[in-house]
A = this chain, B = another copy of it.
């Protein structure tokens, strides 16, 4: 059996907001594989959107040039700090399927936990390093996992973590909810959508903040299934 990589992303704006401060982009790595970049720009609305678009643009440009993920996060931080003088922060998560070195690589700066499923174990890994843009020489935390069957990584933005807080409700239990989804028959996108729906419900149907969920998993596949596919849906306004 070979391995294939499956990515699912689901994203929603803050209630009644036309623009999201969360931006997610995917690019092909020059060495083989893909990288997903998720940036949550401080605040919401047009300014946060412009910020997160600018920072993801910087990140994917460098990734496409073959720059290693940890250096990309450092560069995005340095640029933000240089141009906004420490007054604006953002979180950045880069999840890469590095097929050249057969690793999933998780590079992050922010406050949200990531969830890692290894087939037998589920762990919520709290944020190690804080957001980018504020202090000099901020470094990302970097984790590497060998690509093997049933490995799955979840990245969520702040709006998912704090869903329900406005109403005094308990936070979504990301560890147990994702564990259920990983064991389901749903594909990666349907899993991301399901978790996003749970977070939206915690906010009583009106997201208090932009929310984005991305999940990357390793799936066993027949070695001869060689078609790459992408499917994207952008709801209208």
Contacts and interface: CB of A to CB of B under 8 A. Distances in A.
Interface of A: 2-13, 23-28, 30, 33-34, 50, 53, 56-57, 60-61, 64-65, 97, 99, 187-189, 192-193, 196, 221, 223, 225-237
Closest 6 CB pairs of A and B: A57-B64, A2-B236, A189-B231, A3-B236, A9-B230, A7-B232
A60 B27 contact: yes
Which one of A12, A225, A235 has the greatest number of beta carbons of chain B within 10 Å? A235
A232 B234 contact: no
Contacts of A13: 226
Contacts of A187: 231
A193 B229 contact: yes
Contact of A61 (B7, B57, B233): B57
Which one of A8, A9, A30, A226 has the greatest number of beta carbons of chain B within 10 Å? A226
A154 to B, nearest CB: 15
A65 B6 CA distance: 28
